[in-house]
């Protein structure tokens, strides 16, 4: 801007110089006072008098030899050029804007606000959040505001690593008001969830013909955290997104799900806007076998239906909801073909063994009474902590506890390369068998032995078949390790599993 002003001032000075110098229109001898042509008295010079104005010539005063025409319009242009920056500066003053902006139409105010004019933004906020009895913004202006707010709140690539984008929180406040007044169309709502929150579901690319369950991963950003005016009673709007249905494209009888994926708030306290990219949520989908019946081997298409619900954070009332459907190609293969290949590289084995950890074994038994918890209640659990850094291959493990020559299978845990979440540990839990069953008698005897010993050995062994139905797993690390002398913690029978992580037992390959 300063460079432009300097160029304009230089142009004005140049025009003034040209205007003052003028243009030569005749050559000869002319009176310096009235520019009278002295050709008729040329022989009498330098001792003569101008016949027009009476100017007296003498040896020290000579007539001019050129007659020039001064361009007055150049002076006018130079003055205009000088006044333009002065006028522009005056038009940018707060007093002038405060006086003029209330008289401008909505479209101009919205455009100025998009250009980051703070005075225009103040005027826009006063119009957009006006009381019902006052004049409201035109719907066309609201459409522009919504489109710009969604684009502005979209995560930017330069901030992909940090996940931070700083914008004026009032755009999010306008978007929240638009949502509350139901000004967003379904397409705009879908755009917000997919472009700002970037919600998407990931399913396996292959599945076995005999699969009973399938695992999904839902990725999303945390949305926007806005420094809203909470003290003035500003409502908080919550997006509740749930994966509710899985089916095959073109077929009826889908699998209905009850899995909530995540919930997020639109308004929150804090400076600027802060987003956390790709927060994963994942879970298992049961009943997949019914969708695979009578299917031929080959590629077909699953579809998932997710429900987006907007909830008033104060009254907990549903404001609006919408379902979105996404399609996922999947290949149906035989059981053997679906089992991921194993990697038997010793360096890979050592890498994962070195970075893996096992927590203390939690026993969920009441040691004061001679009985196990009720059927279906947790008996024992152990936490398996996977590598916290990125992994290139899947990890599918059976978890067993061993005491002497006796071994008890607790369960399995799997980690996919796609599941790079903030919670790399899994809790494997064994639940109490039915009353009077042989399994219950054997479990009671085993528990008595490990309680007497006070220590136990935990065995982790690779089981690629456990990885069937997980998205993103093509190969599984061949991993087998013993964690000796794992300590025990005793909990009451009805407490949920809560493994203690951080105990570092000896790891042997």
Identify which of 429, 430, 434 has the alpha carbon closest to the alpha carbon of residue 375.
Answer: 434
Which structural domain range is residue 422 located in? Answer: 339-508
User: DSSP label at 154?
Assistant: S
Is 378 inside a domain boundary? yes
- Does residue 215 sit in the same domain as residue 317? yes
Q: Are 392 and 300 within one domain?
A: no
Instruction: Enter the pTM of the model.
Output: 0.60
Question: Residue 161: inside a domain, yes or no?
Answer: no
Return the bridge partners of 373, or none: none
Per-residue pLDDT, averaged over 317-324, amounts to: 78
**Helix (H) or strand (E) run with residue 323 in it:** strand 318-333
Share of the chain above pLDDT 70, in %: 67
Q: Which two tokens stand for residue 172?
A: 């999010």
For the chain, how long is the longest CA-to-CA vector? 147
* Domains identified in the chain, total number: 2
Return d(Cα 172, Cα 114) in angstroms, integer.
Answer: 13
Question: Tens digits of per-residue pLDDT, 375-395?
Answer: 888 888 888 888 766 678 888
Task: Say if CB 447 and CB 457 are below 8 A apart.
Answer: no
Look at residue 17 and tell me if it is in a domain. Answer: no
Q: What is the pLDDT of residue 77?
A: 76
Helix (H, G, I), strand (E, B) or coil at 97: helix
Do 330 and 351 belong to one domain? no
Q: Are both 300 and 355 inside the same structural domain? A: no
360 & 466 share domain: yes
Beta carbons of 217 and 418 less than 8 angstroms apart:
yes
pLDDT 10s digits, 263-281: 655 433 333 445 556 666 7
Q: Are residues 323 and 365 in the same domain?
A: no
The overall average pLDDT reported for the chain is 74
**How much is the pLDDT for 43?**
66
Residue 84 forms part of a structural domain: no
d(CA 341, CA 465): 10
Q: Nearest CA to 192 among 320, 11, 352, 50? A: 320
Tell me the HSE value of 157 on the side-chain side, using a 13 A CA sphere: 0
Clarify whether residues 330 and 346 are in a common domain: no
Q: Name which of 328, 282, 265 is nearest 420 in CA terms.
A: 282
Residues 322 and 346 in one domain: no
Lowest mean pLDDT among 112-126, 129-143, 207-221: 129-143
What is the residue-wise DSSP string for 350-397? HHHHHH-EEPBEEEE--TTSSSPPPTTSEEEEEEEE--SS--SSBEEE
**78, 135, 483, 508 from 359: Cα distances, Å:** 83, 64, 10, 16
We report the CATH number of the domain holding residue 440 as 2.60.40
Q: Which residues lie below 8 Å from residue 189, measured CB to CB, with a gap of 6+?
A: 179, 308, 310, 320, 322
Judge whether 218 lies within some domain.
Answer: yes
pLDDT higher at 291 or 12: 291
Is the same domain home to 329 and 216?
Answer: yes
Residue owning tokens 């009032």: 170
Give the per-residue pLDDT at 164: 43
The helix/strand/coil state of 105 is coil
- Return the C-alpha torsion angle 18, 24, 29, 35, nearest 10: -60
Could you count the other beta carbons within 10 Å of the beta carbon of residue 262?
A: 19
Residues whose CB falls within 8 Å of the CB of residue 64, separated by 6 or more in sequence, listed in order = 29, 30, 31, 32, 35
pLDDT of residue 15: 67
DSSP string, 390-431: --SSBEEEEEEEEETTEEEEEEEEEE-TT---S--EEEEEEE
Strand partners, 256: 245
- Domain limit, last residue, from 275, 303, 337: 337
In degrees to the nearest 10, what's the CA dihedral of 192, 193, 194, 196?
60
Confidence at 5, pLDDT banded by 50, 70, 90 = low
Asked if pLDDT for residue 334 goes beyond 70, the answer is: yes
Per the domain annotation, does 381 fall within a domain?
yes
What is the distance between the alpha carbons of residues 207 and 209, in angstroms, rounded to a whole number? 7
Q: Which of 337, 363, 388 is the last residue before a domain boundary?
A: 337
Give residue 313's pLDDT: 66
Residue 431 lies in a domain: yes
Whether residues 387 and 332 fall in one domain:
no
Q: Is residue 78 part of a domain?
A: no
Clarify whether residues 384 and 288 are in a common domain.
no
Residues 391-443: pLDDT tens digits?
A: 788 889 999 999 888 999 998 888 888 766 556 777 788 888 888 899 988 98
- The single-letter DSSP state of residue 162 is T
Q: Which of 314, 337, 360 is the last residue of a domain?
A: 337
Residue 398 pLDDT? 93
368 and 281 in one domain?
no
All residues at 6 or more sequence positions from 182 whose CB lies less than 8 Å from its CB, including other chains: 319, 320
**So what's the pLDDT on residue 329?**
94
Q: What is the pLDDT of residues 217-260, one digit of tens each?
A: 887 766 544 433 333 344 455 677 788 888 898 887 788 876 66
């Amino acid at each position: 801007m300063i460079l432009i002003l300097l160029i304009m001032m230089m142009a004005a000075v140049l025009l003034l110089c040209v205007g003052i110098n003028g243009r030569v229109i005749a050559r000869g001898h002319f009176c310096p006072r009235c520019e009278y042509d002295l050709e008729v008295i040329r022989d009498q010079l330098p001792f003569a008098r101008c016949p027009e104005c009476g100017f007296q010539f003498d040896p020290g005063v000579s007539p001019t030899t050129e007659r020039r025409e001064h361009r007055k319009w150049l002076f006018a242009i130079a003055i205009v050029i000088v006044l333009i920056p002065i006028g522009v500066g005056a038009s940018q003053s707060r007093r002038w804007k405060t006086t003029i902006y209330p008289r401008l139409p909505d479209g101009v105010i919205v455009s100025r606000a998009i250009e980051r004019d703070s005075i225009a933004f103040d005027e826009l906020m006063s119009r957009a959040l006006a009381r019902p009895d006052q004049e409201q913004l035109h719907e066309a202006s609201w459409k522009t505001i919504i489109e710009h707010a969604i684009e502005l709140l979209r995560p930017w690539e330069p901030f992909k690593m940090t996940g931070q984008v700083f914008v004026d929180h009032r755009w999010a406040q306008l978007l929240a008001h638009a949502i509350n007044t139901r000004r967003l169309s379904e397409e705009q709502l879908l755009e917000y969830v997919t472009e700002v929150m970037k919600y998407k579901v990931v399913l396996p690319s292959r599945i076995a013909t005999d699969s009973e369950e399938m695992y999904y991963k839902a990725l999303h950003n945390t949305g926007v955290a806005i420094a809203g005016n909470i003290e003035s009673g500003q409502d908080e709007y919550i997006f509740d997104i749930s994966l509710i249905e899985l089916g095959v494209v073109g077929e009826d009888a889908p699998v209905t799900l009850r899995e909530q994926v995540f919930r997020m708030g639109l308004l929150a306290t804090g400076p600027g806007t802060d987003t956390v990219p790709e927060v994963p949520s994942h879970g298992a989908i049961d009943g997949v076998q019914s969708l695979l019946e009578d299917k031929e081997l080959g590629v077909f298409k699953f579809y998932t239906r997710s429900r987006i619900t907007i909830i008033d954070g104060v009254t907990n009332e549903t404001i609006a909801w919408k379902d979105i459907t996404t399609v996922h190609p999947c290949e149906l293969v035989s059981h053997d073909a679906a089992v991921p290949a194993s990697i038997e590289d010793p360096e890979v084995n050592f890498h994962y063994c070195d970075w893996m950890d096992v927590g203390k074994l939690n026993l969920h038994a009441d040691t004061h009474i001679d009985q196990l918890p009720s059927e279906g209640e947790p008996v024992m659990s152990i936490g398996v902590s996977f590598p916290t850094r990125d992994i290139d291959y899947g990890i599918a493990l059976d978890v067993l506890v061993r005491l002497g020559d006796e071994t008890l299978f607790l369960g399995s845990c799997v980690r996919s390369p796609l599941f790079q979440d903030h919670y790399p540990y899994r809790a494997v839990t064994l639940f109490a068998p039915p009353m009077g069953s042989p399994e219950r008698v054997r479990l009671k005897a085993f528990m008595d032995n490990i309680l007497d010993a006070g220590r136990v050995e935990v065995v982790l062994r690779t089981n690629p078949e456990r990885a069937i139905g997980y998205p993103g797993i093509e190969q599984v690390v061949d991993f087998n390790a013993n964690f000796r002398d794992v300590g025990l913690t005793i909990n009451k029978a009805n407490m949920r599993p809560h493994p203690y992580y951080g105990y570092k037992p000896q790891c042997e390959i």
